[in-house]
Amino acid sequence: MGFEKFRVKDRDFSPKRALIIAELGTSHGSDPVKAGELIAAAAEAGADCIKSQIVYADEILHPNTREVALPGGNIRLYDRFKQLETDISFFAKMKEETEKRGLLFLCTPFGIRSARELRELGPEFIKIASPELNFSSLLREVASYKLPALLSTGVSKLADIEEAVSVLGERAPICLLHCVTSYPAPERDYNLRVLKSLSPVFGCPVGVSDHSMDPELVPALAVAMGGAVIEKHFCLSRNDPGLDDPIALPPSGFALMVKAVRRASGMEAEAVLEELSRERGAELVEAVLGDGVKRLAPSEKANYERTNRSIHATRSIKQGEIIKKDMIASLRTEKILRPGLPPSWEEAIIGRKAARFIPDGEGIRFEDL
């Protein structure tokens, strides 16, 4: 492939030397001591990069979202996100600790406020999570920073990726991270040959954000298929209370992953496939590789238009009322509320009259206008 390299801070990452990201998410619980322990353990396990998330609940969900099914059980996710809101100085300290160990610092914003706060920290690059792939105003904001960007493509169709790349990729170098938005994600859903499809189509490097439980199979095959970046959730223990800890890799598992990725990077692709076919079975390896056609994976189909962003009322809107900017927001719908129009329709909705009563939290559709 001709688009293999992803450059960050004068370092080139490619299938021959992949960037390995330890996704801490919110597993630190806003505790600086726990954050330090996670960073130290991930560094020891062989990570190149430490990633976290800047969470403000109102940037992600409506309070009426109620319970969401996650690996740890049904959780009132809005309330949990409120608990995880942390002053930006916390992430400044994480960045300092990470870079002190010679690792790259990476963070995901979920809205304009968190993106601007992150920019003030002076990051080398930035990550957009799969549910925000269609969040056009956030993409425009991040594009204005002209930083290298990782763009996760879980629970998306080819047209969704094309639209996001048209916004983000014109202003900065990007790397697409193939992803299956399911927790945990079945290895057989990964369709890793899609990496060889996405890279030439969009003219950029590719990688994988892996939510499967196996520490080695998907990461090693992803490198064989041309992946320049491998991201995996990291925890100290799967019994810890972090939102993603039940599907994350503890230090020993992460070290196994690093070893598998580095070994695969030093081999020809066919040799990796032959070795894993002998060890895991040819039928399983072929299933994980798939046919290379970009489509929603079976395990994530139900999340489409629900995990993604859509336009919601942030208060009840009366019939005949003129819709103003502060009455709407592009939020993750999840399972309870009704999905609305895509975020790209925000400007078109503002100034329109409500054709009927729109309850607080509901998605706004054409028939509401």
Indicate the domain borders of the chain.
6-289, 305-368
Domains 6-289 and 305-368 agree in fold: no
Q: What is the pLDDT of residue 239?
A: 92
- Are the CB atoms for 6 and 228 separated by under 8 Å? yes
Using the predicted structure, report yes or no on whether residue 232 has a pLDDT greater than 60. yes
Integer Cα distance of 234 and 236 in angstroms: 7
Which CATH topology does 305-368 take? Type Iii Antifreeze Protein Isoform Hplc 12 (3.90.1210)
Q: What is the pLDDT of residue 172?
A: 80
Q: What is the pLDDT of residue 1?
A: 43
State how far the alpha carbon of 114 is from the alpha carbons of 80, 90, 92, 160, in Å: 17, 13, 13, 23
Using the predicted structure, report yes or no on whether residue 71 has a pLDDT greater than 80. no
Mean predicted confidence (pLDDT) in 60-89: 84
- Are the CB atoms for 42 and 50 separated by under 8 Å? yes
Mean predicted confidence (pLDDT) in 317-336: 94
Integer Cα distance of 291 and 225 in angstroms: 12
Predicted TM-score (pTM) of this structure = 0.95
Q: What is the pLDDT of residue 86?
A: 94
Q: What is the pLDDT of residue 74?
A: 76
- Residue 218: what are its φ and ψ, rounded to 5°? -65, -45
Quote the DSSP letter at residue 297.
-
Q: Could you tell me which residues are beta bridge partners of residue 358?
A: 317
Please list, residue by residue across 321-341, b when 16 or more beta carbons sit within 10 angstroms of its beta carbon and e when fewer do: eebeeebbbbbbbbeebebbb
Question: DSSP alpha helices (H): ranges in the chain?
Answer: 32-45, 57-60, 77-84, 88-100, 112-120, 136-143, 158-168, 194-202, 217-224, 251-265, 269-280, 282-289, 346-349
Q: Kindly indicate whether the domain formed by 6-289 is annotated with CATH number 3.30.930.10.
A: no
pLDDT digits over 236-293, tens only? Answer: 999 998 889 999 999 999 999 999 999 999 999 999 999 999 999 999 999 999 999 9
pLDDT digits over 339-351, tens only? Answer: 999 999 999 999 9
Q: Which two tokens stand for residue 7?
A: 């450059």
Integer Cα distance of 82 and 59 in angstroms: 11
pLDDT digits over 121-153, tens only? Answer: 999 999 999 999 999 999 999 999 999 999 999
Q: What is the pLDDT of residue 76?
A: 83
Mean predicted confidence (pLDDT) in 287-305: 95
pLDDT band at 72 (very low <50, low <70, confident <90, very high): low
Q: What is the pLDDT of residue 65?
A: 85
Q: What is the pLDDT of residue 70?
A: 66
State how far the alpha carbon of 105 is from the alpha carbons of 120, 122, 143, 191, in Å: 14, 10, 19, 29
Q: Which two tokens stand for residue 284?
A: 């399983």
Which residues lie closer than 8 Å to 223 by C-beta, 6 or more apart? 15, 18, 230, 261, 264, 265, 272
Please list, residue by residue across 180-207, b when 16 or more beta carbons sit within 10 angstroms of its beta carbon and e when fewer do: bbbbbbbbbbbbbbbbbbbbebbebbbb
Using the predicted structure, report yes or no on whether residue 75 has a pLDDT greater than 90. no
Between CA 351 and CA 357, with CA 354 as vertex, the angle to 5 degrees is 150
Integer Cα distance of 296 and 231 in angstroms: 20
pLDDT digits over 165-223, tens only? Answer: 999 877 789 999 999 999 899 999 999 999 999 999 999 999 999 999 999 999 999 99
- Are the CB atoms for 337 and 360 separated by under 8 Å? no
- Please tell me the least confidently modeled range out of 2-16, 49-63, 66-80, 220-234: 66-80
Integer Cα distance of 283 and 278 in angstroms: 10
